[in-house]
Amino acid sequence: MSFQDLNLNTPLYNALDDLGFTTPTPIQAEAFGVVASGRDVVGIAQTGTGKTFAYMLPILRNLKFSKQDNPRVLVLVPTRELVVQVVEEIEKLSKYINNRVLGVYGGTNINTQKQAVAEGLDIIVATPGRLYDLAVSRVLQLKSIQKLVIDEVDVMLDLGFRHQLINIFDILPDRRQNIMFSATMTQDVDELITDFFRNPERISIAVSGTPLDNISQYRYNVPNFYTKVNLLVHLLQDRDSFNKVLIFVAFKRMADRLFEKLDDYFKEELCVIHSNKTQNYRLRSIEQFRNGENRILIATDVMARGLDIDNVSHVINFDTPDYPENYMHRIGRTGRAEREGKALVFSTEKEQEAIENIETLMQMKIPVLELPDTVEISTELIEEERPQIRERNNPTKRSDDDAPGPAFHEKKEKNQKENLGGSYKFKIAQKYKKPKTRGDKNYNKRNKRK
């Protein structure tokens, strides 16, 4: 099957030709007719199979030219980086179409975004928080939304966006098409579909949790953090094989810690992204990794979810994820567009249960490799690996992480006064039962009536 078999129009065919795409992926072929029909759709397909084009091709095919200011298509995604990426993908497809696309997300000046919204648009791509802020401010009117797309909805629910999503559903028109695409189907996602979708057509290209066939997976049993670092340094020395490596860690502090250790060996080849980094830093790191300026990118789960980066040779799970669905999303960053990919996972003894959950989801065993002889096995432990010693008489002692930081200080007494609002004149009148000045006519009138 080719794109010519789909009922596209000339501008879309020209854009696909410029991109060099001739054959739709299975999810693109299956979803086109259903999305174009206007029915509610739930699409499940492995990551890296072109889900963005799967919903945008039929939407753009039927999106007529309009001069109205309010958007007609809303795409919700979980992260800022994904907003930027989806906008770029839509702009590629819209090269020969006269439409207006805008991406909005938090962490940037909302007034600039308000001005851009006021200029008019057809498609808005947004994170839930910033979209709701713009809608509440009345600058963004959602009354014209005809199609709602929720991409990576399982991540939004993991991040606690459920209430914001429900608030957004409440202010959208009832007559709209709901479209949802994801690589995994969780119970929370299923509940959301039951509550808000109308008899959706389900398109499942693979069972939720099925890995791509073109990704080779292996794992190492490693005793601790420092041994993991030694193994990682050993592997990354092979620059020919490990030419574009994405390393996943569990949390932000671990990302910074690993970056610091690898910086001694790889310097300019290394970059890192997590939510504590500024937006410009994050976008620059992704761009440098995508362009090949940096060979190694360290990332947390949320930051790299859904990112489409070509030719990633290896995905390395430095920490084994607690949720098996996250493992599926991680390894999906390699082996994209039917290319060969490799995925490695490092597991300590405490992480073996997580490995078993991943293997259960995938219904396959991950082959175990022996540690190379040249890798030094360290006995040094980081804080999280050391046994927790609780004081006998103070078992609930607060950890240092919860202690007030160096910038914390109590307010001065004069700043602790409560501002109750209202006029000082009336407060005096209430206190002394007489007017502050002799000329308070209203007060004198009230007294005469009494």
Lowest average pLDDT, out of 4-13, 143-152, 336-345, 399-408, goes to 399-408
Confidence at residue 414, expressed as pLDDT on a 0 to 100 scale: 63
Confidence at residue 411, expressed as pLDDT on a 0 to 100 scale: 67
User: In whole numbers, what is the pLDDT of the chain averaged over residues?
Assistant: 85
Is the pLDDT score of 143 beyond 90?
yes
Answer yes or no: do 370 and 259 share one domain: yes
Summarize the confidence of residues 241-252 as an average pLDDT. Answer: 94
What is residue 187's DSSP assignment?
H
Task: Please provide the size of the chain in residues.
Answer: 450
Summarize the confidence of residues 107-124 as an average pLDDT. Answer: 94
More confident site: 410 or 343: 343
Summarize the confidence of residues 177-183 as an average pLDDT. Answer: 87
How far apart (Å, rounded) are the C-alpha atoms in residues 108 and 110? 6
Print the domain residue range for 151: 3-204
Angle (CA) 42 44 46, round 5° = 155
Q: Is residue 393 part of a domain?
A: no
- 128, 76 Cβ separation under 8 angstroms: yes
Distance of CA 371 to CAs 11, 225, 242, 350, Å? 54, 14, 17, 18
Terminal CA-to-CA distance of the chain, rounded, Å? 92
Is the pLDDT score of 437 beyond 60?
no
Sign of the CA dihedral with 181 first, then 187, 190, and 196 last = negative
More confident site: 421 or 192: 192
Structure tokens at 402: 């919860």
Q: Is residue 123 part of a domain?
A: yes
Structure tokens at 322: 């607690």
Confidence at residue 409, expressed as pLDDT on a 0 to 100 scale: 63
Q: pTM value?
A: 0.74
Write down which residue in 381, 406, 433 finishes a domain.
381
Residue pLDDT, tens place only, 287-311: 999 999 999 999 988 766 667 788 8
Is the pLDDT score of 330 beyond 90?
no
Confidence at residue 312, expressed as pLDDT on a 0 to 100 scale: 92
**Domain containing 234 — which CATH number?**
3.40.50.300
Write down which residue in 338, 357, 381 finishes a domain.
381
Answer yes or no: do 254 and 200 share one domain: no
Answer yes or no: do 220 and 197 share one domain: no
Answer yes or no: do 167 and 308 share one domain: no
Summarize the confidence of residues 94-99 as an average pLDDT. Answer: 94
Answer yes or no: do 232 and 357 share one domain: yes
Answer yes or no: do 69 and 137 share one domain: yes
pLDDT band at residue 97 using 50, 70 and 90 as cut-offs: very high
Write down which residue in 204, 223, 243 finishes a domain.
204
Give one word for 349, left, alpha or beta, with left for phi > 0 and alpha for psi -120 to 50. Answer: alpha
Q: Is residue 437 part of a domain?
A: no
* Helices and strands in the chain, H and E counts: 17, 14
